[in-house]
């Protein structure tokens, strides 16, 4: 699926030529305390995304564990060092964009892509909601060939998911990242400075799977399985009990699961997709009737959501790869190991012996 280039009309009136920025860039991130501009520490990678108004888009990324710094700015246009007024006036061809500097050892580029696709509507061409103009277009601007491959694969996969949900084709611009021009100081971390400020992020409600990682040869070696593209496919793949827990957020009866008392050495994986979740070294007997762990193998192995189904606020744990329900997290675990109890359903897990 290719971007609809006809939707991205570049303006003909240029902005005044500039060799340097007409305004200073803040030295530090107002939330993370890290530098906004390079050089960044060794191992830090960068990515650039456009999701419409960059105020809410920047907050989406700075909240992720593993992101080193973020900044708002302008990308993909034809003029150097534009101003906000020039970009919003359609004089430069730039998109409002977010620079994301991240540690790939803590958060994968694929996770950034998933958050990108799910947080906005990538089918709207030169607008997001009521924000209209080419500066609000959806864009993934890659900084390496590996990012390009992942971005294209994720676009194609999400396009299929949107089509299944009755949505139109993706119009997101995919291109090599050129120079990222930083926005004015008042636009950096805007929603931290004004928590009640304008945010126009609206997703489609369609989940984004990442089959590009799942279907690679390396992924198969790592125990990952291809992701299903629909709930019907999940229903065919899983048993009735597995589907009830993993896809419908059910709970197995206490002391009924196969891993409640298991002490075998190995890695516990998501039964739906094979994603590595917990190491057996982090398992302990909580005497609650469900297998319990003190921590995950990596911060992005799971995603956390607020669950209010029982009339109280609980922290739900889902697989960070296929978003299947695993269990809940409580703060009554062993204090010496951080105090958390990851209370999981056995039917949501597979033990991969070492």
Looking at 53, 208, 322, 343, which residue is catalytic? 53
Split into its structural domains, the chain has a count of: 2
Which CATH number belongs to the domain containing residue 282 in this structure?
A: 2.170.150.20
Q: Show contacts of 194-201: CB within 8 Å, 24+ apart.
A: 197/55, 198/53, 198/55, 198/56, 199/53, 199/55, 199/56, 199/59, 200/52, 200/53, 200/56, 200/128, 200/129, 200/130, 200/131, 201/51, 201/52, 201/53, 201/56, 201/57, 201/60, 201/119, 201/120
**Do 298 and 341 lie in a common domain?**
yes
**Do 28 and 88 lie in a common domain?**
yes
Is-contact 345 245, C-beta < 8 A?
yes
> Using CA atoms, how far apart are residues 260 and 138, in angstroms rounded to an integer?
46
- Residue 322 is a catalytic residue: no
Tell me: the pLDDT tens digits for 35-82?
999 999 998 999 999 999 999 999 999 999 899 999 999 999 988 999
**Do 77 and 18 lie in a common domain?**
yes
| Residue percentage of the chain with pLDDT more than 90 | 71
Token pair of 128 as six digits: 């997001």
Which CATH number belongs to the domain containing residue 48 in this structure?
A: 3.30.1060.10
Q: Lowest mean pLDDT of 89-103, 220-234, 252-266, name the range.
A: 220-234
CA 109 to chain centre: 8
| Residue percentage of the chain with pLDDT more than 70 | 92
**Do 182 and 247 lie in a common domain?**
no
Residue 323 is part of which domain span? 217-353
**Do 43 and 183 lie in a common domain?**
yes
**Do 126 and 229 lie in a common domain?**
no
Task: Work out whether the CA dihedral 211, 212, 213, 214 comes out positive or negative.
Answer: positive
The model's confidence at residue 354, banded by pLDDT at 50, 70 and 90, is confident
**Do 146 and 28 lie in a common domain?**
yes
> How many CB atoms neighbour CB 47 within 10 A?
24
**Do 266 and 198 lie in a common domain?**
no
**Do 166 and 204 lie in a common domain?**
yes
Q: Going by DSSP bridges, is the β-strand pair 181-182/349-353 parallel, antiparallel, or unpaired? A: unpaired
**Do 200 and 229 lie in a common domain?**
no
> Using CA atoms, how far apart are residues 40 and 143, in angstroms rounded to an integer?
15
Decide which of 165, 188, 208 is a domain's last residue: 208
């Amino acid at each position: 699926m290719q971007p609809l280039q006809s939707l991205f009309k570049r303006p003909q009136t240029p902005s005044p030529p500039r060799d340097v920025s007409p305004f200073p860039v803040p030295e530090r991130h107002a939330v993370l305390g890290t530098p906004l501009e390079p050089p960044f520490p060794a191992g830090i990678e960068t990515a650039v995304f456009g999701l419409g108004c960059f105020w809410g888009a920047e907050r989406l990324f700075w909240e992720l564990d593993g992101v080193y710094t973020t900044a708002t700015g302008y990308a993909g246009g034809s003029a150097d060092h534009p101003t906000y007024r020039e970009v919003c006036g359609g004089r430069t061809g730039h998109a409002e964009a977010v620079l994301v500097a991240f540690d790939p050892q803590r958060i994968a580029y694929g996770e950034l892509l998933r958050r990108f696709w799910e947080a906005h509507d990538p089918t709207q061409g030169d607008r997001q909601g009521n924000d209209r103009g080419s500066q609000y277009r959806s864009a993934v601007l890659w900084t390496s060939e590996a990012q390009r491959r992942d971005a294209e694969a994720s676009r194609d996969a999400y396009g299929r998911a949107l089509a299944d949900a009755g949505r139109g084709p993706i119009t997101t611009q995919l291109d090599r990242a050129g120079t990222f021009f930083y926005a004015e100081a008042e636009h950096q971390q805007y929603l931290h400075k004004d928590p009640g400020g304008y945010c126009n992020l609206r997703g489609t409600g369609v989940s984004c799977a990442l089959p590009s990682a799942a279907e690679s040869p390396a992924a198969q070696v790592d125990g990952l399985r291809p992701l299903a593209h629909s709930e019907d496919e999940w229903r065919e793949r899983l048993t009735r009990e597995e589907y009830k827990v993993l896809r419908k957020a059910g709970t197995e009866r206490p002391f009924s699961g196969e891993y409640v008392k298991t002490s075998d050495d190995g890695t516990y994986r998501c039964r739906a997709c094979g994603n590595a979740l917990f190491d057996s070294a982090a398992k302990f007997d909580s005497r609650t009737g469900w297998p319990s762990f003190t921590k995950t193998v990596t911060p992005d192995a799971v995603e956390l959501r607020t669950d209010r189904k029982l009339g109280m606020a609980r922290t739900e744990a889902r697989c960070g790869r296929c978003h299947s329900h695993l269990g809940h997290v409580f703060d009554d675990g062993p204090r010496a190991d951080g105090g958390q109890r990851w209370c999981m359903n056995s039917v949501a897990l597979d033990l991969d012996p070492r």
